[in-house]
Chains A and B, each alone.
Chain A
Amino acid sequence: MKVTMRINGTERGGDVEPRVLLVDFLRTNLLLTGTHVGCDTSGCGACTVLLDGEPVKSCTMLAVQVEGRDIKTVEGLLQGGALSPIQVGFHEEHGLQCGFCTPGMMMVGSALLERNPDPTDEQIRWAISGNLCRCTGYMNIVKAIKHAAKMNQEAAKAGSHAEAVPAGGGE
């Protein structure tokens, strides 16, 4: 079955069986392997992508359901080759240990900040409550999202985009 969707701003398509899950379409057909498969049972949130701007579990959607809609994956977070504030936040605040949950956490974090630019710790914790970190690094994940919020706010105050950090820089 033919399916066409917008992924990270680009029209992408494929020919898939109806039973193909969105996460498998992304990883296997489009080689966008930044989206992870964790539990594969709708429990862990490692496969989180944004569907029309809202975080959803791509292991619990069929690719054909996304026909004509908009998907953003972790690969789409880069802004003109530079890390976006949410990525900078995870880098600066050490928001990851093994990194497996990180793509999902960053997608949820970026969607939260779109809706609520200045979330409290409690609101961040609630927003990531469907995403598991098996390293239990939640404290720093919360800090990372707060860091990104602060960057966005400072950028808004300065009336310009957040200061860009080159991808791969600052290692």
Chain B
Amino acid sequence: MFPAAFDYAAPATLAEALSVLKQRGDDAKVMAGGQSLIPLLKLRFAQPALVLDIGRLPGLAGVKRDNGHLTIGALTRHVDLERDTELGKTFSILPEAAHWIADPLVRNRGTMAGSVCHADPSGDWGSVILALNAELVAQSSAGERMIKAADFFKGPFATTLRPDEIVTAIRIAVSSAASGGSYQKLERKVSDFATVAVAVQVEMDGRKVARAGIGLTAVGETNIKAVAAEKVLAGQEPTDEVIAEAARQAAAAAEPKDDIRGTAAYKKDVVRVFVQRGLKAAIGRAQGGKA
């Protein structure tokens, strides 16, 4: 299958890329690893006039720690996060989620930021950045702005990124509190999209949960931040009852549809069970347990 014809630009500098987007952003698609975009081009679901390949921009690959933030460059691939042993206990959700994305061949090309910008409601990273309260660094020729993950997703495959902007990095605040995360995913087979998946991140204050972040995958028009469930946990000791109530609230926030992967009722129940499991695993990790 061939995509429809398009112009192709692969600038060597960010300034050049931003200037191209300023001129032609409305007709352009930005491509990093291309693992979501190229299949869409081949099926002709997307027919942009210009593909702007940012794959050659310098300095955008890799994970950096500075000023209390973890900064994941836009060209950091799934495999880079999957194999990053430095991410350790605090952000174990990143390698854990990466491990279950697509298949090893796709993970060698696809990027976290590219997947987030693709905004597929079945995408795994969207839930992870919602759980982590991450921010996206959006650059245009006019400058830089930060977009909160919770403000990013507008609808299926639609975001609040402007046509002249490129996401150059994902930024996550590094908490000084004991933290832990977990990504729970149900997929029918390797490389299938999630039937349901749940991202959980907690910060502890002694025996209490100081903050919990919960993101839901493949159960709505976008990745969903389960705000009511997060509130149930904040400031509470995570007893079985509290965890069960948070899981019920998360299931209530899910808006799945019946499809070949399962019924809506089934998926809601998987959300409930996965939030319970994810919370227990995340809290166990935060407390240094073996969970």
Contacts and interface: CB of A to CB of B under 8 A. Distances in A.
A18 B109 contact: no
Interface in A117-131: 126-127, 129-131
B260 interface: no
Contacts of A60: 34-35, 38-39, 106, 109
A130 B7 CA distance: 31
A82 interface: no
Interface stretch (A7-15, A38-46, A157-165): A38-46
Contacts of B102: 130
Interface magnitude class on chain B: 20 to 34
B191 A40 contact: no
A166 to B, nearest CB: 31
A67 interface: yes
Contacts of A131: 105
Interface in B161-204: 190-191
Interface of B: 1-8, 10, 34-35, 38-39, 41-43, 51, 53, 55, 79, 102-106, 108-109, 190-191
B1 A40 contact: yes
A129 B51 contact: no
Interface of A: 1, 17-21, 24, 40-43, 45, 48, 51, 54-57, 60-62, 64-65, 67, 108, 126-127, 129-131
Instruction: Specify which of B5, B34, B39, B43 lies most central, judged by the most chain A CB atoms within 10 Å of its CB.
Output: B39
Contacts of A18: 5-8, 51
Instruction: Specify which of A21, A60, A108 lies most central, judged by the most chain B CB atoms within 10 Å of its CB.
Output: A60
Contacts of A57: 105-106, 109
B5 A19 contact: yes
Contacts of B2: 19-21, 24
Contacts of B104: 55, 108, 126-127, 129-130
Contact of B34 (A1, A65, A67): A65
A54 B79 CA distance: 11
Contacts of B7: 18
B285 to A, nearest CB: 23
A1 B6 CA distance: 12
A19 B108 contact: no
Given A62-B38, A65-B53, A130-B191, A56 B8 contact: no
A61 B103 contact: no
B41 A19 contact: yes
Nearest to A41: B39
Nearest to A126: B104
A149 B39 CA distance: 34
Contacts of A40: 1, 42
A56 B5 contact: no
A1 B38 CA distance: 18
22 contacts: A18-B6, A19-B2, A19-B3, A19-B4, A19-B5, A19-B6, A40-B1, A41-B1, A41-B42, A57-B106, A57-B109, A60-B34, A60-B39, A60-B106, A62-B53, A64-B10, A65-B55, A108-B105, A126-B104, A129-B104, A130-B105, A130-B190
